[in-house]
Chains A and B, each alone.
Chain A
Amino acid sequence: MLVALVGIGLFVWQIRKIVRNINMGRDKTISGNVSERINTLLLVAFGQQKMFKRPLPAVLHLFVYIGFIVINVELIEILIDGVFGTHRILGVLGPVYSVLMAINEVLGLLVIIACVIFLARRNLTKVPRLTRGPEMRAWPKMDANVILITEIVLMLALFAFNIADQKLAQLGGHQLPGAFPVSGLMVDLFGSDVNTLQVIATVGWWVHIVGILAFMNYLPSSKHFHIITSFPNVYYSKLEPKGQFSNVESITHEIKAMLDPSYVVPPAPEGADPQKFGAKDVEDLTWKQLLDSYTCTECGRCTSVCPANLTGKLLSPRKIVMDTRDRMEEKGESPLIFDPAKYTEESERVKATEERTLLRGYVTPEELWACTTCNACVESCPVNINQLSTIIDLRRYLVLEESAAPASLNTMFNNIENNGAPWAFSPSDRFNWADDLYTGSKN
């Protein structure tokens, strides 16, 4: 009981920190289209639609995902048993319980198999997108392994408990409620000494329950937090065409006032700071862009399809999302275990120039200028993160606040301003293509 309360209390305390961090971001109202949002939520988040672009990891991930959901039913029982001192209280459900337990065990086994394969992909075959890139530093690599090993240990503890519990029931001559297709095959694994079996059952039970509570408190420090954030993140994902970039309204007002002196600029909300154009640091991004970074699973699908990254440029969309989270926790509050100050490997990271902000301190202009805005990263993200929107907001700051665009782009801007075309052509030549234009016909 106490353990459960402490575990849940700590978790709530950490969640509040993360909510405060996300609230550092700019306000942005994302509403409407509820049915389309729910549809996206069901397909992309619950249905994992975008995972299936790569079938093998999709199926393995599906095992772990369904396993997580179903095995949590058993967690409810464990918590009730623990608090009220009952034993397999849900056994009263009869055949339903048997089916549940049977599914649990099969999924438990599949979770172990999937996690072992995932460990191998990360540590033995070293799938490039999971292991390469400057953002895949020691902490993210360790984090992934910690998650997988913890999941395996939790499942093994559950099986140990089930095996010992069944043998004890058998020795005591009574029938245990439930069906155990996996552990039932290994009933005699731990021998038939009642004391030993009781210890194993107790230890297995405690490891599972304490393990889950501890794991829950590890989540806020980990990419595994996506099991919570991916749902709101997908619900609030962008529904407009991917090519539609956000409109900067403050600029619209400025231009309208410039063109029409009688235009009245609507007053800014009370107490709001005058807005910068674009984003220099995390508080200049919207709450959704910050939620994006708390949803990132660091899977690297975005970076693996990025044309700039594929051809050796510095840009990695995943790095920008991970940098945003690190910077947010450096500037705001850090969770229990991960403290960016402790894990930042300065040597591999771009040194801050004069100030440590997201722009320059973490993300360099060279990365930002390598982007072709092709939306491959956005398309590939299984949890609907919009990497491109952050890149554009950072570019906007470079151009509008610092006038720090590459020289060739400044030339392009000048051409548009002076000749109405991005190239240095005379506007009077614009219609020359229609001179001496003939058409033919077959007859």
Chain B
Amino acid sequence: MSEKKQIQVPVMADLAARGETPEVLFWVGCAGAFDDRYKNVTRAFVRILEHVGTKYAVLGMEETCTGDPAKRAGNEFLFQMQAMTNIATFDGYGVKTIVTACPHCFNTIKNEYPALGGNYEVIHHSTFLQNLINEGKVKIAGGGEFKGKRITFHDSCYLGRANNIYEAPREVLAALDADLVEMKRSRANGLCCGAGGAQMWKEPEPGNKDINVERAEEAIGTGATIIASACPFCMTMMADGVKSQNKEDSVQVFDIAELIAQAEGINA
């Protein structure tokens, strides 16, 4: 029988008031905080953090956009304003390590904040989950409910090509003992979901097809029943692409953290 336990998510300001410092700051990101679908990923990741006993905290209301979409769209001024605000917050709490489930936040904080004076160890949740599995903290005895299911992983550009992280999410999925299949365009040759570069916030330019439809067709073509992703924008784009093919009943899109939490039996 499963029993439910309520989680009080620790907030940085409260910890600081008590003179405590967490091991890691979990950076939720705007999608993780506001997007109805991606809030599930945030919750799943928090369940995992609680499950393994990581000392973590979130910024709560103090979080604000990293500036990624502004920078990709060419608005360097707005980006730097956001970055400096966030750096001041991080440094105010003495933050050293940051984990996030968003490859765009990850890339921006890790690679672009140092030039503005913000130096932190930044970990994407795929690498974080991989470490938990390697350390035996997440066991998923027997692979859990995804054993033998056909899963294909869609590479996020800002995780893959942008930061050369291709294996971590795949090793996380390997723990599910599922039937992992690759799309023809994968890893360094992966096809973008269409949302990067601030496309998420605008209509596509005129063309003959939407990029996410092209990618969803490729994913569906593998015969997978689950498309795994590790990025909030990829998740939206792939889910919409699957819907455009009227396949939403047979093909589902999940984040790797959701799959792990589900397989570990800690979803509630």
Task: Report which A residues bind B (CB closer than 8 A).
Answer: 53, 240-245, 247-248, 251-252, 254-256, 259, 277-278, 305, 307-308, 310-315, 366, 369-376, 378-379, 392, 395-400, 405-406, 408-409, 411-413, 416-417, 420-423, 425, 427-434, 436-443
Contact = CB atoms under 8 A, between A and B. Distances in A.
A315 B192 CA distance: 15
A277 B32 CA distance: 32
Nearest to B60: A431
A313 B74 contact: no
B141 to A, nearest CB: 9
**Residue among A369, A397, A429, A432 with max Cβ neighbours from chain B (10 Å):** A369
A423 B268 contact: no
Contact of A312 (B3, B76, B209): B209
B17 interface: no
**Residue among B11, B207, B268 with max Cβ neighbours from chain A (10 Å):** B207
Interface in B48-71: 50-51, 58, 60-61, 63-65, 67, 69-71
Nearest to A394: B74
A427 B75 CA distance: 21
A240 B111 CA distance: 8
Contacts of A259: 84
Contacts of A375: 157, 161-162
Nearest to A436: B6
B240 interface: no
Contacts of A398: 74
Contact of B192 (A307, A369, A443): A307
Given A422-B65, A434-B58, 11 more contacts: A53-B189, A255-B77, A278-B76, A311-B209, A311-B211, A369-B205, A372-B211, A400-B74, A400-B76, A421-B30, A439-B51
B208 interface: yes
B195 A372 contact: yes
B171 to A, nearest CB: 20
Contacts of B47: 439
Contact of B208 (A242, A311, A315, A366): A311
A305 B6 CA distance: 47
B245 to A, nearest CB: 15
Given A243-B158, A311-B209, A251 B76 contact: yes
A429 B72 CA distance: 26
B6 A438 contact: yes
Interface stretch (B38-46, B129-137, B252-260): B38-46
B75 A248 contact: no
**Residue among B67, B201, B267 with max Cβ neighbours from chain A (10 Å):** B201
Contacts of A254: 77
Contact of A416 (B2, B3, B4, B82): B82
Contacts of A376: 157, 161, 189, 191-192
**Residue among B30, B32, B42, B75 with max Cβ neighbours from chain A (10 Å):** B75
Contacts of B80: 248, 251-252, 255
A247 B61 CA distance: 28
A275 B194 CA distance: 33
B112 to A, nearest CB: 6
Interface string B101-127: 000000100111001100000000000
B268 A439 contact: yes
Nearest to A277: B76
A241 B164 contact: yes
A374 B73 contact: no
Contacts of B65: 416, 420-422
Nearest to B157: A374
Contacts of A429: 34
Contacts of B197: 371-374
Contacts of B78: 413, 416-417
**Residue among A254, A396, A406, A433 with max Cβ neighbours from chain B (10 Å):** A433
Interface residues of B, number: 81
A305 B186 CA distance: 12
A87 B93 CA distance: 80
Contacts of A373: 72, 157, 196-197
B73 A430 contact: no
A83 to B, nearest CB: 49
B250 interface: no
B162 A430 contact: no
Contact of A314 (B115, B198, B205, B214): B205
Nearest to A250: B76
Nearest to B77: A251
Contact of A395 (B64, B73, B161): B73
Nearest to A425: B34
B266 A440 contact: yes
Contact of B74 (A53, A278, A372, A436): A278
B148 interface: no
B30 A438 contact: no
A371 B61 CA distance: 32
A421 B62 CA distance: 12
B209 A441 contact: no
A407 to B, nearest CB: 9
Contacts of A278: 74, 76
Given A307-B194, A433-B28, A439-B47, A247 B116 contact: yes
Given A243-B158, A307-B214, A433-B39, A248 B76 contact: yes
Nearest to B188: A379
Contacts of A409: 73, 198, 201-202
A440 B75 contact: no
B3 A430 contact: no
Contacts of B18: none
B196 A372 contact: yes
Interface string B199-215: 11111111111110010
Contacts of A420: 30, 63-65, 82
A422 B46 CA distance: 23
Nearest to B85: A420
B9 A437 contact: yes
Nearest to A309: B207
B201 A255 contact: no
B81 interface: yes
**Residue among B7, B30, B39, B82 with max Cβ neighbours from chain A (10 Å):** B30
